[in-house]
Amino acid sequence: MQRRHLLTHFLASLMGGGLMGPISAFGYELTKSDAEWKKLLSPAAYDVLRHEGTEPPFTSPLNNEHRKGIFACAGCELNLYSSDTKFDSGTGWPSFWKPLDNAVLTKIDNSLFMTRTEVHCRRCGGHLGHVFDDGPRPTGLRYCMNGVAMTFTPATHTA
């Protein structure tokens, strides 16, 4: 099964990321048919998570979310980022300098006539955004995420 997962990512890279159509969920913990994903997700989340789309900058409410809490995958609810690693990158998309452990996978994206590193949910394979090497310390990374691909759960305070 691991070989098939690697082959899927290799073929997607060769085809330029989004040019292949919907992301194959084959090889991920959580798999659904394209029809199931379309029914489960909003049109915008479906486009981003399953077709590697990009939401317009400065449109996500999560861009201005500053409370303590957890950002999770909108497709499968896997916790992805802590608010402790969120920062204002000025790009118009929610940005983080580090994902939670075992939360995301990356692959090379050669679409749009450039090479970037694409970020996917480790559990369902949903496209989240891209990671760049122009972020703040301590990692120097900027995980530039589509807000529509995530949900936010504020931390609960107990006395």
Active site amino acids = 144
b/e string for 53-92 if b means 16 or more Cβ within 10 A? bbbeeeebebbebeeebbbbbbbbebbbbbbebbeebeee
Pairing of strands 104-109, 95-96: unpaired
